[in-house]
Structure 1
Amino acid sequence: MSGKADPRSAGERTTSRARLDRGRGALGPALELVHTGRAPTRAVLTAELGVTRATAGAVAAELEALGLIRVDARPGAAAGSQGRPSHRLELAEEGPVALAAQVHADGFRAALVGLGGRIVATTPGCETVDADPAKVLATVVDAGAELLRATGRRCVGAGLAVPSAVTEPEGLALNPLHIAWPVGAPVQKVFAERVRAAGITGPAFAANDVNLAALAEHRHGAGRGARDLLCVATGHRGVGGALVLDGRLHTGSSGLALEVGHLTVNPEGRPCHCGSHGCLDVEADPLALLTTAGREPGPEGSLLQQANELVREEYADPVVRAATEALIDRLGLGLAGLVNILNPDRIILGGLHRTLLDTDPDRLRAVVADRSLWGRSGGVPILACTLDHNSLVGAAELAWQPVLDDPLGALSRV
């Protein structure tokens, strides 16, 4: 308590409390609107929530008191606009953060991510992934804890992105093929234990990295505004997919939906870890590009980096061009099959697939349109992911979700 007297009359204080009580249920929706950039002003917030200006003001003030947003004290109208100027709403720059961690075939890193998907700080990426998930997760959590100590930020929770299907609600990594972890490793349990041992408050979650990339892109990147968003990406090894429906990840009955890497796109192709041949997983990832181009993976840089550099720097080489076109065609076949099944209103591509799209967008879009019923009817927009470290941002979204659902309740527990 500050000890300062409230200058308002008893009636004014009662009215203010009543407005806030009516708007408490709108705290979460209001925070999500600001978090995703859909409510830049209090006037927009009022319209989106469908409440009175007074109630919207009370909700915004409460979120500001919680240290989550900042309300511009001097409202101003944009140039050329008419009507009453509105208070701008911004995310608090020094507000709480979520601890995000990502593990992939070529390393791991930790980051602190604020509301709005803003990365506040990151650790240097480590390049060696131990076969024991407990060792890796202990190292990445300790690195994240050091970031929290260095920045002095309040932490709302932690999220982990892994290159494997992750069961719900158990949090088991069912197919961490490219990082040599045991099948069924209890990554969420181990991660949560390491988070608690490091003295970090808040809940801890784990999920598939492409699922989390899709969630981040839907809220803050190339997927904004899409209703049915399909994301397909290849990072360091393999191919993953994710679907966002009406703003929520579609993970299936137990978290295992959209294993798109095991669509067959080349029946006479390479053997896949799943037992089949010619799956997208082994026909359209960075290793596939290097192999098709006759290049041995080098010791310097990740496979993703090497594949991206090959396309960007040596595309004029006929062998590299032919290899790139072969991967574009395989990717297009896989996307066409997914379009036929899912009928998304937007597709976003990440990792090497983003580079393939940038290199020859007309070829990829033509393959998808030619092989898909819905593509022929007008085409599905195919865009590149736009966020750096989108899996890390998505991992943070896991930790932020309880706060978005119930700001008062979640922050009282951390």
Structure 2
Amino acid sequence: MSGKAEPRAAGERTTRARLDRGRGALGPALELVHTGRAPTRAVLTAELGVTRATAGAVAAELEALGLIRVDVRPAAAAGSQGRPSHRLDVAEDGPVALAAQVHADGFRAALVGLGGRIVATAPGCQTVEADPAKVLGSVVEAGVELLRDTGRRCVGAGLAVPSAVAEPDGLALNPLHLAWAVGAPVRRIFAECVRAAGITGPAFAGNDVNLAALAEHRHGAGRGARDLLCVATGHRGVGGALVLDGRLHTGSSGLALEVGHLTVNPEGRPCHCGGRGCLDVEADPLALLVEAGREPGPEVSLLQQANDLLLNQYGDPAVRRAAEALIDRLGLGLAGLVNILNPDRIILGGLHRTLLGADPSRLRAVVADRSLWGQSGGVPILPCTLDHNSLVGAAELAWQPVLDDPLGALR
């Protein structure tokens, strides 16, 4: 009897070991499909370093969880030989994350699926009250309406705010362009609103530019970069973020890369931080409007007014001079960051993306001239490519537990 029992026990152990290996690969496999780095089962097999059978079992498990779709009969490319590998893609009807963003000119809610795909958005509100609980309650209510309308399962919620978010308590330390109290516990308030709305899953909060950088690194202009620097100006102020080896570098307490307070014009405007001539007040939408001699209006956001000015009136000498002044200041700040951080790619968002498009050679020349790395060929400077990248990044926070452990997070 022992002669028969031992082989059966050994077979069971082998099967168990294969299952364990496959389950351990679920998270890495899902992240590969989520970021578009494994479009086929053959690529997934190679990236995971497992057998075809294990990769097939992993893909099947992720499909059973409703996270991906496996096309077992993909069409062969023209001129190709042999049977094409099974195609992998995120499930278009799969679960979603609730993403929320608050900025100086309003707030917006969205549902974001795997792959960074925005499934639905709620019309943005144009006013932000001084009480963060009211604002976050309203944006969560908008998200609940979207969930009700779409019938999607929600894995969690993420919030992007225009402030450094201190860890581990999730405090908004410098909501300078909102009327919120310094140190507002935005993560706790947001989590309470999410729970009160009946949404299951964890709730997170982070700085809007950090989250934009994370989204661009996974799904946009930063994909494939190892050390990615993102600098952006949205409705007010300037922010920065750094992604190292696929992870946000937030420092010891979440406050790294406050690039808005680099001095680029010592005789410039007073800054909210107490300094003078910081990027925050020298290279944002308000700075462009003032530099061009335009009076900001209340009809639309400052960002839209500044973008419209560059796109529609760049031939005006006053507008061109203002743009050149901002480009030079931005280039000086970027050059200093390049000298310190040595990134392999820079991406620009918001108004800075428009400035890059207006005169790319001028900005790249300033950075190359003022940075050590410029003397050895320069660092690529590219525009961000995702619409609503801070919203997509907020959703990435909520998706991360699922990427880490799909079975544990969903079951």
Give the shorter-chain TM-score range.
Answer: over 0.9
The alpha-carbon deviation at position 168 of structure 1 amounts to 1.3
Q: Could you tell me which residue of structure 2 aligns to residue 212 of structure 1?
A: 211
Q: Aligned equivalents of 2:333 and 2:231: distance in 1?
A: 10
Q: Which residue of 1 aligns with 2:52?
A: 53
Quick check: 1:336 aligned with 2:335?
yes
Q: Deviations over 1:198-240 (max 9, x none)?
A: 0000000000000000000000000000000000000000000
TM-aligned CA deviation for residue 78 of structure 1? 2.4
Number of the residue aligned with 2:165: 166
Tell me by how many angstroms 1:14 deviates.
9.7
Taking the aligned partners of 2:181 and 2:270, their CA distance within structure 1 comes to: 21
Q: Which residue does the alignment assign to 1:295?
A: 294
Matched residue type, 1:147: L
* Alpha-carbon separation, structure 2, partners of 1:189 and 1:294: 42
Report the alpha carbon displacement of residue 12 of structure 1 after superposing the two structures with TM.
Answer: 11
- CA distance in structure 1 between the partners assigned to 2:377 and 2:345 by the alignment: 12
Query: SS of the residue aligned with 2:165?
Result: coil
Aligned equivalent of 2:182: 183
Counterpart residue identity of residue 73, structure 1: V
Q: Which residue of 2 aligns with 1:103?
A: 102
Q: Is the 8 A contact 1:19 1:58 kept in 2?
A: no
| Alignment deviations for residues 68-101 of structure 1 (CA, whole Å, 9 cap, x no partner) | 0001121443223334421000110100000000
Could you tell me whether the CA contact under 8 Å between 1:16 and 1:58 is conserved in 2?
no
The residue number in structure 2 matching 1:40 is: 39
Which residue in 1 is equivalent to 2:404? Answer: 405
Superposed displacement of residue 21, structure 1: 2.8
Runs of 4+ displaced beyond 6 Å? 11-17
Deviates further, 277-286 or 68-77:
68-77
**Does 83-92 or 287-296 show the bigger shift?**
83-92
Task: Tell me the TM-score normalised to structure 2 length.
Answer: 0.96
Instruction: Tell me, yes or no, if the aligned pair for 1:107 and 1:126 is still in contact at 8 Å.
Output: yes
Separation (CA, whole Å) in 2 of partners of 1:22 and 1:107: 47
| Percent of aligned pairs sharing the same letter | 88
Task: Say which SS state the counterpart of residue 121 (structure 1) adopts.
Answer: strand
Q: CA deviation at 1:169?
A: 1.6
Q: Please give the alpha-carbon distance, in whole angstroms, between the structure 1 residues aligned to 2:189 and 2:56.
A: 42
CA RMSD of superposed structures (Å): 1.5
Correspondence for 2:5: none
Tell me, in whole angstroms, the C-alpha distance in 2 between the residues paired with 1:391 and 1:335. 21
Secondary structure in 2 matching 1:206: strand
Opposite residue 344 of structure 2, the aligned amino acid is: D
The TM-score, its normalising length taken from structure 1, stands at 0.95
Q: How does 1:10-49 map to 2 (within 5 A)?
A: 19-49=18-48
CA distance in 2, matches of 1:57, 1:15: 17
Q: CA deviation at 1:15?
A: 7.9
Alpha-carbon distance in structure 2 between the residues aligned to 1:12 and 1:287: 70
Q: Which residues of structure 1 form unaligned runs of 5+?
A: 1-10
Alignment of 1:71-90 (within 5 A): 71-90=70-89
Q: List gaps (5 residues or longer) in structure 2.
A: 1-9
**Equivalent residue pairs, number:** 402
Question: 1:184 & 1:14 partners in 2: Cα distance?
Answer: 53
**1:247-305 Cα distance to aligned partner (Å, 9 max, x none):** 00000000000000000000000000111100000000000000011111112110000
Distance 2:51 2:403 in 1: 21
CA contact (8 A) 1:20 1:59 kept: no
Q: CA deviation at 1:376?
A: 1.6
